[in-house]
Amino acid sequence: MNITSVKARTILDSRASWTVEADVTLEGGFFGRASVPYGKSRGKYEAKYLPAADAVTNINTKIRKALVGSDGSDVESIHNRLVALDQTPDKHNLGANAFLSVEVAAAKAAAAAEGLELYEYLGGYLGNKKYELPVPLVDLLMGGLHRVQGEDRMEKVADNFQNTQITFEKAKSFREATTLGRDVYLALSKITLSRFGPDRHKTGEDGGFACFEGCRGLLDTAEEAIEAAGLNLKDVGIVVDAAASHWKVHGGYTVDGKILTTGELVDFYVELTNDYFMKGFEDPFDQDDVEGSAELTRKIGDKALIIGDDLTATNVGRLTMLKEKGALNSLLIKLNQAGSLWDGILTTRFALKNGIVPIPSHRSGETDETFASDLAVACPNIHPTFRVHQKIGAPAKGERVAKYNRLLRIEEKLLGQ
């Protein structure tokens, strides 16, 4: 089915920054629209974007000319046409944000043309027909670069975990996990208000409460909220995003007022795993400290997710290297790190084939786009211990809530309600 129109514009994201939104229409009027998120805690291996206005100009001129009148039903062939037009290894002529928005919008239009839900269309690319809801990573507390909302990086060196999240792997449904997550979030709101006072009672980038305590302080506060919500600590897993590339100082990592070597940081995480119900560590070391990540995976990878984010950058070449070194058992799938939907699909396929758990993820700068929720439902559960998760943020703030709500609706449909 041929593409009849391609059109883009800039729209606002959750940080009041402009980002790209693209529309693609196919013959018969089948329509798809997609917008692009943007990270603040970005890794150095991510695809490079153009300023949103430049990417929009490229879509409305060169890309429109190249795609209108050609087949719009297959992600790979659209991607190959964009690659041929761009002619650079890092997509810098057209912009990775132009690639991503057009490929995702086209995928939505193609799914509509085939009469499929988006997760079914994506499941076709991932060899999956058994759709299950992901386990949500519910964000409670924001530290590091995410503590303060806004485009500027206020802190040069972060001093605690960027995200402290909870997970309910034993919940019987996505709705139940969301309900429990929300209960803890609301209990936490009261605790942080009384602890930090109204002036410091703020939410950070992803809707979690800004926290000024050290790493152990974050975990203690999370536990307090879990208990205040009437839950048993052992029924709630804790997953942190250390974003440790931002902790790096000369000679080691700054953690809770001390400077630790890689080996000492491994020991610190093992201690935390003994002291709390830890279920995962994202970017526990600097993005180039592959050895640290491998050592931690050897020590606790059977009971906790060791998740790559800046480490992996949704890049299949990086993932291949990291898998060979045994440096992780899971990774975030952020399509805008990969720079295109097709590159993201290739990375996800590699992960699934190699027993690495994919976690489709939002970014700190978000729109109401819900594509990652469909992608999470499209990913099969391939690991004997760990289910597919989705990193969504707090169950509050419109741009995060849009993703939870998309999953609530998908679950209703899958249950035939």
Contacts with Zn ion, 235-254, as mask; x by CB under 5 A: ------x-x-----------
Smallest Cα–Cα separation from 279: which of 354, 382, 169, 171? Answer: 169
Applying CB under 6 A, which of residues 79, 363, 389, 403 lies at the interface with ligand PGA? 363
Residue 64, interface with ligand PGA (CB under 6 A)?
no
Is residue 55 within 8 Å of residue 95, measured between CB atoms? Answer: yes
Q: Return the number of the residue (205 or 241) whose C-beta is nearest Zn ion.
A: 241
Structure tokens at 272: 């935390």
CA distance between the termini of the chain: 32
Q: Which of residues 295-314 bind Zn ion (CB under 5 A)?
A: 309
From the list 35-43, 173-181, 225-233, 405-413, the region that binds ligand PGA by CB under 6 A is 35-43
Cα 243 to Cα 164: distance, rounded to the nearest angstrom: 11
Residue 42, interface with ligand PGA (CB under 6 A)?
yes
Q: Return the number of the residue (84 or 154) whose C-beta is nearest Zn ion.
A: 154
> Which uninterrupted H or E stretch holds 282?
strand 278-282
* Pairing between β-strand 357-360 and β-strand 330-333 as defined by DSSP bridges: parallel
Cα 290 to Cα 137: distance, rounded to the nearest angstrom: 24
Q: Return the number of the residue (162 or 192) whose C-beta is nearest ligand PGA.
A: 162
Q: Which of residues 147-166 bind ligand PGA (CB under 6 A)?
A: 162
Contacts with Zn ion, 194-233, as mask; x by CB under 5 A: ----------------------------------------
Least Å distance, CB 244 to ligand PGA, is: 11
> Quick check: helix, strand or coil at residue 226?
helix
Which of Zn ion, ligand PGA, none lies near 293, with the C-beta cut-off 5 to 8 A by kind?
Answer: none
Is residue 75 within 8 Å of residue 51, measured between CB atoms? Answer: no
Applying CB under 6 A, which of residues 40, 246, 279, 389 lies at the interface with ligand PGA? 40
Residue with CB nearest ligand PGA? 39
Q: Return the number of the residue (39 or 208) whose C-beta is nearest ligand PGA.
A: 39
DSSP string across 351-381: HHHTTPEEEEB--SB--S--HHHHHHHHS--
> Where do the H-state alpha helices sit in 229-289?
262-275
Least Å distance, CB 24 to ligand PGA, is: 25
> Where do the H-state alpha helices sit in 35-173?
52-58, 64-67, 75-86, 96-113, 118-125
Which residues make up the interface to ligand PGA (CB under 6 A)?
39-42, 162, 241, 243, 309, 361, 363-364
Which residues make up the interface to Zn ion (CB under 5 A)?
241, 243, 309
